[in-house]
Amino acid sequence: MLKPESTSPKNPCIMDSYIRQISDIIKEDAPMVGAKAANLGEMYRLGLHIPPAFALSTQCFSDFLNVNHLSEQLRLLLSQTNPQNPERLSDIHRLIEHLFISAPLPAPLESPLHLAVKSLSAPLFAVRSSAVGEDSLVSSFAGQNETFLGVQGQTNITLAIKKCWASAFSPRSLSYRRSFGLDPEKIQIGVIIQALISPDISGVVFSINPVTGDQETVVIEAVFGLGELLVSGQVTPDHYELSKTTRVITLEQLAVQEKKLTVVGGQV
């Protein structure tokens, strides 16, 4: 795992209203970069070893809509959604994704984005959605928005960024937002571009038991290889529960994992 100080070097020409280095992000920046990016910045500040990364701000998404005059089209499409009609939700998501993919990024972002990607010095990248409101006390958008692994080259990174934005309007995401009374027209979403590592094991750690709400239990779920199969529910993970008080494993459930996602020959 990479040391915190290995995070991409600061460069004045990429430190603007669109791009924030993870090393410069604090948890209070969540409204500007989304909760996932803010938490990643907090992990960096705690001295945890994380792969080099930077975040695109929510302002970048807002300006993308504005410069391409997409806000009105987006509003019109969203007005036609019906939670009781999943097929219509899928159709609208495809239309929104097509609109986003066909539109260019804001011109002021092009060169800084290229420099920021280059500064990470990695062959492959993870492009991750970072919505405002993720993991709040009221709701959690974990797994609702897209992550793209093994992204290579500037063109594919740009495409993945647009697909991350569009994923905020997927049937799953729209239905989830509506269940919490959240207006889909007010979606704010950032994007994380991060160097992709090739792990032997990946996992998710819950500082509170997500099922029982027990605050004295840490829950760890782990899979072989990259963690995407765990997050997407395609593989049953190994499950561990740990007492915060005694630091003893109180429950261990090993699963039969018939497949894994890994990096081989520079490809996922």
- pLDDT computed for residue 10 by the predictor: 45
What pTM did the predictor assign?
0.85
- pLDDT computed for residue 177 by the predictor: 78
45 close to 61: Cβ distance less than 8 angstroms: no
Q: Give how far the C-alpha of residue 4 lies from the chain's centroid of Cα atoms, to the nearest Å.
A: 20
pLDDT digits (tens, 9 = 90+) for 190-207: 999 999 998 999 999 999
Look up the CATH superfamily of 4-195: ATP-grasp fold, A domain (3.30.1490.20)
- pLDDT computed for residue 191 by the predictor: 98
Gyration radius of the chain over CA positions? 19
- Contacts made by residues 150-154, CB under 8 angstroms, sequence distance 24+: 150/124, 150/125, 150/196, 150/263, 150/267, 150/268, 151/124, 151/125, 151/126, 151/127, 151/196, 152/123, 152/124, 152/125, 152/266, 154/113, 154/114, 154/117
- pLDDT computed for residue 7 by the predictor: 41
Residues of the chain with CATH 3.30.470.20: 201-253
- pLDDT computed for residue 16 by the predictor: 65
Domain at 201-253, CATH from 3.40.630.40, 3.30.470.20, 3.30.70.360, 3.40.1350.10: 3.30.470.20
Q: Residues in the chain with pLDDT < 50?
A: 1-14, 136-140
Rounded-to-integer distance, Cα 164 and Cα 96, Å: 12
Residue 174 — left, alpha, or beta (φ > 0 → left; ψ -120 to 50 → alpha)? alpha
C-alpha atoms less than 13 angstroms from C-alpha of 247 in its C-beta half-sphere: 0
Token output for 34 = 């989304």
- pLDDT computed for residue 142 by the predictor: 52
Q: Give how far the C-alpha of residue 213 lies from the chain's centroid of Cα atoms, to the nearest Å.
A: 24
> Which residue, among 89, 97, 90, 115, has the nearest Cα to 16 in the 3D structure?
115
> Which residue, among 190, 195, 44, has the nearest Cα to 119 in the 3D structure?
195
Residues of the chain with CATH 3.30.1490.20: 4-195
Token output for 10 = 């600061």
pLDDT digits (tens, 9 = 90+) for 226-258: 988 888 888 999 999 999 999 999 999 999 998
- pLDDT computed for residue 6 by the predictor: 38
- pLDDT computed for residue 185 by the predictor: 79
Q: Positive or negative, the Cα torsion across 68, 140, 23, 3?
A: negative
